[in-house]
A and B are shown apart, each in its own frame.
Chain A
Amino acid sequence: MEMTLGLNHYLILAAIMFCIGMVGVLTRRNILIIFMSVELMLNSANMTFIAFSHYLMNPEGMVFTFFTLTVAAAEVGVGLAIVVTIFRKTESLDIRKLNLLKN
């Protein structure tokens, strides 16, 4: 039996990446790791886009990926600035130490 990589393989891989990212966000305590997990989730969405784009012969999906990447870069810019201000105050990146605002 011949094994070729089809659309489903890419989609399943992307879904797995998305889940890993989600678990990372929910379980990790370090702000930067949480942030990396979010990026992993975004990249899994990008991969889905590209896989579909290739499969459907429709370049729109690839174009969308460029926008996602750009937005993610802008988000990192603001996000890291916030992280820096936090680190200056608390000298820690542990999300659990941020408890001034109690729910």
Chain B
Amino acid sequence: MFDVASMQISRILPEMILIGVALVAILMDVILPKGKSTRGVQGSIVVGLIVVMAASFFTRENTGTAFGGMVIVDGFTFFFRMLLTFVTLLIVMVSERYIEGLRIRIAEYYLLLVFSLFGMLLMVMAQDLLIIFLGIETMSISLYALVGMSRHRQISNEGAIKYFLLGAFTTAFFVYGIALMFGVAGSTNLVEIANYLRGVSGSVPMLAWAAAGLIMVGFAFKAALVPFHWWSPDAYEGAPTTITAFMSTAPKAAAFAAFLRVFYVAFGDMSGSWTMILWWIAVVTMTFGNLLALRQNSVKRMLAFSSITHAGYLVVALLTFDQMGAAAMLFYLAMYAMMNIGAFLVAIAVNKDENEGKGYSFDDYKGLIWRKPWLALAMLVFMLALAGIPPTAGFFGKYYIFSAAVKSGFVGLAVIGVLNGAASVYYYLRLIVYMFLKERDELNESPSLNLSPSMIQVIALCVFLVLLVGLFPDLLLNFATQSVTVLL
């Protein structure tokens, strides 16, 4: 009855390699002499993540379930494996100089990133609520520690404790939701839940509604949707900026991926009612994020709040409940990751004061074009992309999402979304005005920009991808469309 071959272990090869990489990196930290261990750990993880990407690429044909239906490896999994690993790779590459400045012990930082990536990969291939729960927790527990990494800064501690308490709080909702769903459907497997709901269609018991609602709360928290967003500005500001860039992209993408899979596969038959709730969540998330971002005087906070708005656009894509919307969501997640990471990296390079309550001021950007023209031009591209102005990928991201919404009959929502997009142009353009039109302010200039060569490379890569996909959006859209066909 029980044999190893039926578990199809080969299908999770990339994840096994990833854990191997983490173990090798731990050993490196212990074995190598003090001065060299940093480079060793970082180097081995960079190589390891590239191997993980290669392994997922070459095993992409090996699709199907594994571990008796607990996980499923399909095109959707493949898309997110590549995206999440790539984002983590970028963050690992650029972190070195920045976190040395923050006096963070090096090896743990990289290892926690890898463990968090492992959790996210579990989330995107889970076909059972148990695996999603384990994935979310593996990701989150690593992130709690990463947010609090710069221990000597109180702001970092505060961000970590708030993130941690609220995260544990919503985990309880999530687990309680799973428990109720288990009671109603008799299983935690997504396919079996779907079968059960199809069987009782029309008379879904109250308990199932409650369960779906509680599970939705759990996802909404991880994706920082209003009204479950309170933690995100604090955690984003308290965290080291590289981690902020990471948190606002990869875990958000993983949360939306799991959200998509659970609600499309398992709760598809209840879609009529949850789209109603998501409609409101989308509207308040977009609007509220914008209102808060408008008032910020710190670039880091502005980007943090605007990431709430972007999550709102993603919810619009989610609730269309069709292939076009899901593909638009994958497209947007991938490109948002590139532009947001790019923007945060420029912010790190320009920032001169990492102390509490200061730093990341708009004033630092005055006349940046005269001091660092390339950096200013890169920031220009990222700001235009975030604002959704052609010829950047951001424009097509929004275009696909809102046209999917119109096609599914959510015209009102699309209008609200476009208006919010227009409002967000204000604060993105404000930064551009500071960079290009304001007088250079000698007093405010940072003596040295903490740009490392790897950072320049990654910023250039992000600019390249944002412009490339902006000019040839079909490249990514076809890939995204292929990836979601398995869900619908």
Query: Of the candidates A31, A44, A51, which one forms a contact with B161 in the assembled complex, judged by CB atoms under 8 Å apart?
Result: A31
Contact (Cβ within 8 A) B155 A31? no
Say yes or no for B162: interface residue by CB 8 A criterion: yes
Task: Determine how close the nearest CB of chain A comes to the CB of B358; give it in whole angstroms.
Answer: 12
The dominant DSSP class at the B interface is helix
| Chain A residues numbered 19-59 whose CB sits less than 8 Å from any CB in chain B | 21, 25, 31, 34-35, 38, 41-42, 44-46, 48-49, 51-53, 55-56, 58
Contact (Cβ within 8 A) A82 B144? yes
| Chain A residues numbered 56-72 whose CB sits less than 8 Å from any CB in chain B | 56, 58, 60-61, 63-64, 67-68, 71
Contact (Cβ within 8 A) A45 B179? yes
Say yes or no for B238: interface residue by CB 8 A criterion: yes
Query: Of the candidates A45, A63, A85, which one forms a contact with B172 in the assembled complex, judged by CB atoms under 8 Å apart?
Result: A45
Task: Determine how close the nearest CB of chain B comes to the CB of A83; give it in whole angstroms.
Answer: 7
Contact (Cβ within 8 A) A75 B168? yes
List residues of chain A with CB within 8 A of the CB of B157. 82, 85-86, 89
Contact (Cβ within 8 A) B171 A42? yes
Contact (Cβ within 8 A) B168 A38? yes
Say yes or no for B230: interface residue by CB 8 A criterion: yes
Q: How far is the CA of A18 from the CA of B169 in the complex (A)?
A: 11
Contact (Cβ within 8 A) B137 A75? yes
Say yes or no for A3: interface residue by CB 8 A criterion: no
Say yes or no for A103: interface residue by CB 8 A criterion: yes
Contact (Cβ within 8 A) B161 A38? no
Q: How far is the CA of A25 from the CA of B169 in the complex (A)?
A: 8
Residue of B nearest to A90 (CB): B154
Contact (Cβ within 8 A) B165 A34? yes
Q: How many A-B residue pairs have CB under 8 A?
A: 125
Say yes or no for B463: interface residue by CB 8 A criterion: no
Contact (Cβ within 8 A) A35 B176? no
0/1 string, A68-103, CB within 8 A of B gives 1: 100100110011011101100110000100101101
Contact (Cβ within 8 A) B356 A98? no
Q: How far is the CA of A75 from the CA of B144 in the complex (A)?
A: 9
Decide: A67 near B133, CB < 8 A? Known: A45-B179, A74-B141, A101-B234.
yes
List residues of chain A with CB within 8 A of the CB of B161. 31, 82-83, 86, 95, 98
Contact (Cβ within 8 A) A48 B176? yes
Say yes or no for B187: interface residue by CB 8 A criterion: yes
Say yes or no for B325: interface residue by CB 8 A criterion: no
List residues of chain A with CB within 8 A of the CB of B183. 11, 48, 51-52, 55-56, 61
Decide: A100 near B178, CB < 8 A? Known: A64-B188, A82-B148.
no
Task: Determine how close the nearest CB of chain A comes to the CB of B240; give it in whole angstroms.
Answer: 15
Task: Determine how close the nearest CB of chain B comes to the CB of A92; give it in whole angstroms.
Answer: 12
0/1 string, B225-241, CB within 8 A of A gives 1: 00000100110011000
Say yes or no for B425: interface residue by CB 8 A criterion: no
Task: Determine how close the nearest CB of chain B comes to the CB of A32; give it in whole angstroms.
Answer: 11
List residues of chain B with CB within 8 A of the CB of A61. 179, 182-183
| Chain B residues numbered 110-130 whose CB sits less than 8 Å from any CB in chain A | 130
Decide: A103 near B180, CB < 8 A? Known: A31-B165, A64-B130, A79-B144.
no
Contact (Cβ within 8 A) B172 A101? no
| Chain B residues numbered 148-167 whose CB sits less than 8 Å from any CB in chain A | 148, 151, 154-155, 157-162, 164-165
Decide: A103 near B182, CB < 8 A? Known: A35-B168, A41-B172, A75-B137.
no
Say yes or no for B134: interface residue by CB 8 A criterion: yes
Q: Hey, which bits of chain B sit against chain A, CB under 8 A?
A: 130, 133-134, 137, 141, 144-145, 148, 151, 154-155, 157-162, 164-165, 168-169, 171-173, 175-176, 178-180, 182-183, 186-188, 230, 233-234, 237-238, 356-357
Known: A38-B172, A100-B158; 7 extra A-B contacts, CB below 8 A, are A46-B179, A48-B183, A61-B179, A63-B130, A64-B179, A82-B157, A82-B164
Q: List 29 A-B contacts (CB under 8 A).
A: A25-B165, A35-B165, A38-B169, A41-B173, A45-B172, A45-B178, A46-B179, A49-B182, A61-B179, A64-B182, A67-B133, A68-B133, A71-B133, A71-B134, A75-B137, A75-B164, A79-B168, A81-B148, A82-B145, A82-B148, A82-B161, A85-B157, A85-B160, A89-B157, A95-B165, A98-B158, A100-B357, A101-B233, A101-B237
Nearest first, the 10 closest Cβ-Cβ pairs linking A and B are A41-B172, A52-B183, A48-B179, A45-B175, A45-B176, A101-B234, A38-B168, A71-B137, A49-B179, A98-B158
Q: Hey, which bits of chain A sit against chain B, CB under 8 A?
A: 11, 18, 21, 25, 31, 34-35, 38, 41-42, 44-46, 48-49, 51-53, 55-56, 58, 60-61, 63-64, 67-68, 71, 74-75, 78-79, 81-83, 85-86, 89-90, 95, 98, 100-101, 103
